[in-house]
Amino acid sequence: MSEPAVSLKSSSDVNGSVGGRSSIISVERVFKSVTDSTGTLSILRDIDFALAPRETAAIVGASGSGKSTLLSIIAGLDTPTQGTVYLAGQDIFAISEDDRAALRAQKIGFVFQSFQLMGNLSALENVMLPLELSGAANARSQASEMLKRVGLGERLGHYPKVLSGGEQQRVALARAFVVQPAVLLADEPTGSLDFATGEKIMALMFDLNQELGTTLVLVTHDRAIASRCERRITIEAGQLVPD
C-alpha cells in the first residue's frame, strides 16, 4: 500500500488545527527509546506541547536530557518510538520520507552550532542552495538580498574558510531564512561564538522572527537567551517539567 501524499500548503498557511488548537507545531505524546545489547534506554517520555505561529520557544535542560533529540523529531529527522508531531496541521510521521523531506524543505529552516556551510561554495552560493533545490527562478537575487539584510553585502563572494565564526553563523542564518520558513529550529546557535558575537546573532534571529513571522524554536544552555523567548520548555531526564 502506497504512502499517503502530503498536501504542501503555501508559506502563509501555517495554522494547522490539531485537537482544537491553532498551532504551527504540535508534539503529541512523544516517546523515544533505543535498544542495544545492554538493554533499552529511554530518551524522551510523554512529551506533549503545541506552539503557535510566530511564537518563540527555548528548549532547555542539562546535557543528555533529550533536547537535541526532541528538536530532530520535530524536524522529522528522527522518528519517535510512540506519538507524533504535526507541522502546519500535517502529521509528519503519517507520510513517506520523501514527502516529509519536501514538507521540511518548504516549512523549516535550520541553524546549527557548527554552521554546516558548504566549504566549496561562497557565501552567496551557500544561501542560494536551498532556493535552487526548491526551483526558485531568482535564487541569486534573493540570496544576495538576504545576505545584505544580515550585514554581509560585502562578503558575497567569500568562502567559509575566510569568514569569522560570527560571519559564518550569519551566512547560516541567511540560508535558513531565505526560503521564509514557517519554523526555524536552532540547536545551540551561539554555542561556538564569543559573547558579543552571540548577542548580535540572537538579536538578528529575533528581528527576523518578528519581520518574517517565523516560529522560533531554540535549544540552548544559555538562561539569558531562554529568558528572551515567550515560552520555555524544560526537559529533565527526558520528561517535561514545569518552570
In a domain, 210, yes or no: yes
pLDDT of residue 195: 85
Task: For residues 178 and 143, give the distance between their C-alpha atoms in angstroms, rounded to a whole number.
Answer: 6
* The three cell numbers locating residue 1: 500500500
- CB-based contact 25:215 (threshold 8 Å): yes
Position 230 pLDDT exceeds 70? yes
Highest mean pLDDT pick, 45-59, 95-109, 131-145: 45-59
pLDDT of residue 193: 77
Burial of 138 (0-12, 13-18, 19+ CB in 10 A): exposed
Confidence class for position 81, pLDDT limits 50, 70, 90: very high
CATH number at residue 147: 3.40.50.300
In a domain, 36, yes or no: no
pLDDT tens column, 122-146 = 999 999 998 888 888 899 999 999 9
pLDDT of residue 63: 86
Task: For residues 125 and 143, give the distance between their C-alpha atoms in angstroms, rounded to a whole number.
Answer: 8
In a domain, 31, yes or no: no
Burial of 226 (0-12, 13-18, 19+ CB in 10 A): buried
Highest mean pLDDT pick, 2-6, 159-163, 170-174: 159-163
The secondary structure of residue 148, as a DSSP letter, is H
> What is the per-residue burial (b if ≥16 Cβ within 10 Å, else e) of 19-36?
eeeebbbbbbebebeeee
pLDDT top residue among 30 and 104: 30
Confidence class for position 96, pLDDT limits 50, 70, 90: very high
Q: Which domain holds residue 68?
A: 54-78+96-241
In a domain, 193, yes or no: yes
What lies within 8 Å, CB to CB, of 156 at 6+ separation is 122, 123, 124, 144, 147
In a domain, 25, yes or no: no
pLDDT of residue 8: 35
The secondary structure of residue 124, as a DSSP letter, is H
In a domain, 9, yes or no: no
In a domain, 46, yes or no: no
pLDDT tens column, 18-45 = 344 479 999 999 999 999 888 888 999 9
pLDDT top residue among 191 and 84: 84
- CB-based contact 139:128 (threshold 8 Å): yes
> What mean pLDDT value characterizes the chain?
86
pLDDT of residue 243: 67
**What would the mean pLDDT of 219-241 be, rounded to a whole number?**
91
* Domains in the chain, number: 1
Pairing of strands 231-236, 56-60: parallel
In a domain, 166, yes or no: yes
Position 187 pLDDT exceeds 50? yes
Percent of the chain with pLDDT over 70: 91
